[in-house]
């Protein structure tokens, strides 16, 4: 292993008393948002002991969203036993905050309790062993169970991050847990997972929990893909969840029919069911289920985190903003946290420098510079292991990220 850095790649610093804002997304499988930010902070302080550093958690609707909002808003963590994507009982963590600054409130509800939930906590890809990953059989049912637990605790407002799922079931598992019925031609419940959509014949929402009508849902999406088609959830994301080419084509076709049946079922409640609406394809169609069955508002997850945690004030007070994630690539430009933060920074002050640190720079990383990131650096460009698993080791990831920051920010 070795680290190399040239002076030409060093960020120019005019004063030792530089004010930094460090807001890192999680390095999935290695570091949480806060851990990654602290690693960067330590590296900067070794390079410049007089630096003024403010650390803020960051998330875009995927892993780390609960931590970012609960940490930023002084909420409390909760735990509930739910079904994981394959039906095994697990403990799922979510949060409750006691105030909610968004204007998306529900005037008919007196509760000030807001639940902050990550779909990935109940149906995340990380919960499924590599050899069992297949969205034909993974379900969002556990997410519905988390919502029910929050309802029982008095929550009527919800912020739900839906990134990082292992599923492609259109949210039918979640809706089933909330009381909906998805039936085959014989009137029997279809199986859970995307495979069940193959036999979907009718939908009955009459048994859904009545308290849901008192609730507002703000859905933090990390992508803006539609439900179906060449940019839909099946075509774009199902392969990384374990699907093969044949099942991807089938799932896309089944999603089309699911959308049509939803239109038939909810036509009195909604004027038009738009399967091409941005974000409906997020988390294997969870965005679609939230928007049309629960009246959810789909918003970029990073925008929600920035607004609710008051990060704009931190941006104004910083000279240099440092962000990043495990892999910076073309998908980062599709609404993920680093680019979302960079856009907010440039909207605040185009002259502020935004630097992204990543585990690796993947294909399309240069596109991020079009969206406000000034410089991009990856650990794998400077630190070398024969075995990629060593990069993912938690201690190595923390140490390497810290060393990368130290080398880049030497004054």
**Mean pLDDT, residues 104-131:** 79
* Length of the chain measured in residues: 411
334 compared with 323, residue with greater pLDDT: 323
Per-residue model confidence as pLDDT tens digits over 28-63: 889 988 999 999 999 999 999 999 999 988 887 777
Helix (H) or strand (E) run with residue 190 in it: none
| CA atoms of 289 and 331, how far apart (whole Å) | 23
Q: How confident is the model at residue 11 (pLDDT cuts 50, 70, 90)?
A: low
Alpha helices in 33-115 (DSSP H): 33-47, 65-73
Number of neighbours of residue 114 by Cβ within 10 angstroms: 26
Question: In order of start, what are the domains of the chain with their CATH numbers?
Answer: 7-57+310-408 (3.40.50.10350), 65-302 (3.90.1510.10)
Amino acid 88: pLDDT: 97
Task: Give percent above pLDDT 90 in the chain.
Answer: 74
Amino acid 99: pLDDT: 61
In this structure, what token pair is assigned to residue 153?
Answer: 């605790």
The pLDDT mean for the chain works out to 90
Q: How confident is the model at residue 12 (pLDDT cuts 50, 70, 90)?
A: low
**Mean pLDDT, residues 133-144:** 98
Rounded to 5°, the CA angle 263-271-176 comes to 40
Compute CA distances 88 → 114, 127, 160, 193, whole Å.
Answer: 27, 10, 22, 14
Amino acid 67: pLDDT: 83
Per-residue model confidence as pLDDT tens digits over 234-270: 999 999 999 999 999 999 999 999 999 999 999 877 6
Q: In angstroms, how far is the first alpha carbon of the chain from the final one?
A: 24
| CA atoms of 257 and 237, how far apart (whole Å) | 19
User: Which of the residue ranges 49-63, 85-99, 130-144, 252-266 would you say has the lowest mean pLDDT?
Assistant: 49-63
What are the beta bridge partners of residue 115? Answer: 96, 158
List, in order, residues 6 or more apart from 16 with CB less than 8 Å away: 48, 50, 51, 411
C-alpha atoms less than 13 angstroms from C-alpha of 190 in its C-beta half-sphere = 29
Q: How confident is the model at residue 107 (pLDDT cuts 50, 70, 90)?
A: very low
Q: How confident is the model at residue 9 (pLDDT cuts 50, 70, 90)?
A: very low
List, in order, residues 6 or more apart from 385 with CB less than 8 Å away: 1, 391, 396
């Amino acid at each position: 292993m070795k680290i190399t850095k040239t002076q030409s790649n060093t960020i120019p610093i005019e004063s030792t008393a530089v004010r930094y804002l460090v807001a890192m997304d999680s390095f999935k499988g290695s570091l949480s948002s806060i851990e990654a930010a602290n690693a960067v902070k330590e590296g900067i302080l070794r390079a410049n002991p007089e630096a003024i550093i403010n650390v803020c958690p960051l998330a875009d609707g995927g892993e780390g969203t609960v931590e970012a909002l609960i940490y930023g808003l002084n909420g409390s963590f909760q735990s509930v036993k739910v079904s994981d994507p394959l039906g095994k009982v697990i403990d799922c963590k979510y949060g409750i905050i006691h105030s909610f600054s968004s204007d998306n409130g529900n005037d008919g509800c007196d509760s000030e309790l807001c639940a902050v939930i990550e779909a990935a906590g109940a149906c995340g890809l990380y919960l499924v062993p590599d050899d069992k990953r297949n969205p034909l059989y993974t379900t969002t049912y556990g997410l519905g169970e988390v919502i029910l637990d929050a309802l029982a605790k008095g929550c009527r407002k919800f912020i739900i991050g839906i990134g990082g799922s292992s599923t492609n079931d259109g949210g039918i598992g979640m809706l089933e847990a909330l009381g909906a019925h998805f039936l085959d031609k014989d009137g029997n419940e279809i199986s859970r997972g995307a495979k069940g959509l193959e036999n979907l014949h009718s939908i009955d929402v009459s048994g859904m929990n009545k308290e849901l009508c008192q609730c507002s849902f703000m859905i933090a999406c990390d992508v803006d893909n539609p439900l179906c088609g060449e940019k839909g959830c099946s075509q774009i994301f199902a392969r990384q969840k374990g699907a093969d080419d044949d099942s991807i084509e089938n799932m896309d076709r089944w999603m089309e029919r699911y959308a049509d049946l939803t239109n038939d079922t909810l036509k009195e409640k909604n004027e038009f069911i738009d399967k091409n609406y941005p974000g409906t394809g997020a988390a294997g169609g969870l965005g679609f289920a939230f928007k049309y069955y629960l009246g959810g508002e789909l918003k970029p997850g990073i925008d929600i985190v920035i607004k609710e945690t008051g990060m704009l004030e931190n941006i104004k007070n910083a000279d240099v903003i440092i962000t990043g994630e495990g892999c910076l690539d073309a998908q980062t430009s599709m609404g993920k946290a680093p680019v979302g933060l960079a856009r907010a920074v440039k909207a605040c002050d185009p002259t502020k420098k935004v630097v992204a640190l990543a585990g690796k720079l993947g294909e399309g990383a240069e596109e991020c510079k079009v969206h406000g990131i000034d410089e991009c650096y990856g650990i794998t460009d400077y630190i070398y292991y024969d075995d990629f698993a060593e990069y993912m080791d938690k201690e190595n990831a923390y140490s390497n990220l810290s060393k990368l920051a130290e080398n880049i920010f030497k004054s």
